[in-house]
Structure formats: C-alpha cells, structure tokens
Amino acid sequence: MSSSDPASRLLLLMRHGKAENSSGQPDHDRALAERGESQARLVGEYLASQNVQVSRVLLSDSARTVQTWEAVVSQMPGFDGKVTRHEEIYTGGPAELLSLLGGVKDKHTVVMVVGHEPTISSLTTLLADEHSDAGSLAQARIGMPTGGMAVLSGALEDWGSLGEESLTLHTIVRP
C-alpha cells in the first residue's frame, strides 16, 4: 500500500523475531535464532505480496531488531526508504515510541517500527480505535508474538497527530 491521499497513514509495529538464548551475553547483543530469521523473511514476503511501500523504518538499536529488519528487507526488492536506529525503542516504552513517531516527516505515509515487548503490543492497544479488528486487538492485549506485526492505518494530517485511538488495527501478521 502506498497512498495518494496525504492524510492516509499506514503504521506497521513489529516485534523482533525469535532470539537466541542469552548464554551469558548482554540482552542488547542477543542475535536472532534461525526461527527468528525465518519469521522476519515471512513478514517481508507478506509486505512484498501486499505491495506495501515502506518509506520510513525506525529500529531499536539491539542486535536482534537490526537482524530482524535485515531479514524483512531481504524480501522487499527495491526498498529505498530511510532506516534509523534508536536506543529509546530498546530502553523506552510506548510514550517514547509515540514521541519518536511524532517526529517522522509528513512525506512518509508508510512507517514501520521494529521493537520489543511489551512496548509494541502496548502501543498497538493504545492506538487502536473502535473500528479495529476485535481478534487482533485481543491478541495485542495478550502480547505480540515474536516476529508478529500489527497493521494499523488511518487518516492523520501528520504523524504528530498520532495519539490514543487514532488508527484502526486491521490485523496482526503472525509468521
């Protein structure tokens, strides 16, 4: 999906894929497990099959989120969007992520975030409006599965207008 309507926004909130056990290494440095790479590639295939043209990506700066994005984008030929890493996605919660999203330039109508639990499910629940898919909202309230991605959209003049109940949650992709 790419939209010609400048007020139409698509937000993809993804939890990183399944990570390896810590084995004594710092949590921040944990790598994706083989299953996590597979999950992320499936999400990339899904986005490509739906013709989703992501133009802005916000990543946690942890190893597993960066590797998740690399596996997702490997299935999206021609991706030419902007990707940045943010410590606050790793260390913060929904308020910090909402603040980061509020700073995204208006020209980016399709934005993806790759982060962690419980922030991804909490933000999904916060943003979901009354028209949201009930089953997907219930899943978000329980928690986002590894590699899972919430698909939300709505009419916003700019990302700074993003707030409570401002988008419709359509589905949660569970690879």
- The verdict on residue 27 lying in a domain is no
Structural domain contains residue 25: no
Mean pLDDT calculated for residue range 126-134 = 98
Domain count across the chain: 1
- The helix (run of H) or strand (run of E) holding residue 12 is strand 8-15
Task: Answer yes or no: is pLDDT of 167 > 70.
Answer: yes
Whether 1 maps to a domain, the answer reads no
Q: What is the mean pLDDT of the chain?
A: 94
Distance of CA 88 to the CA centre of its chain: 14
Alpha-carbon gap, residue 36 to 114, rounded angstroms:
13
Residue 139 lies in a domain: yes
Task: Tell me the pLDDT tens digit for each residue of 55-79.
Answer: 999 999 999 999 999 999 999 999 9
Q: For residue 152, what are the β-bridge partners? A: 11, 169
Domain membership of residue 3 (yes or no) is no
Query: Which residue range forms the structural domain that includes residue 166?
Result: 8-19+33-173
pLDDT (tens digit per residue) in 34-63: 999 999 999 999 999 999 999 999 999 999
Q: Which residues pair with 110 in a beta bridge?
A: 10
* CATH number for 126: 3.40.50.1240
Q: How confident is the model at residue 5 (pLDDT cuts 50, 70, 90)?
A: low
The pLDDT score that the predictor gives to residue 63 is: 96
* 3-state SS assignment for residue 71: helix
Q: Are 102 and 46 in contact (CB under 8 A)?
A: no
**Contact in structure between 112 and 159 (CB atoms under 8 Å):** no
Please, which pLDDT band fits residue 97 given cuts at 50, 70 and 90? very high
Confidence of residue 172 (pLDDT cuts 50, 70, 90): very high
Q: Residue 129 — φ and ψ, nearest 5°?
A: -95, -175
User: Which range has the worst mean pLDDT, 17-21, 141-145, 165-169?
Assistant: 17-21
Residue 143, domain member (yes or no): yes
pLDDT for residue 6: 56
Is residue 40, in this structure, part of any structural domain at all? yes
Does the CA dihedral 128-129-133-137 come out positive or negative? Answer: positive
Q: Is residue 28 part of a domain?
A: no
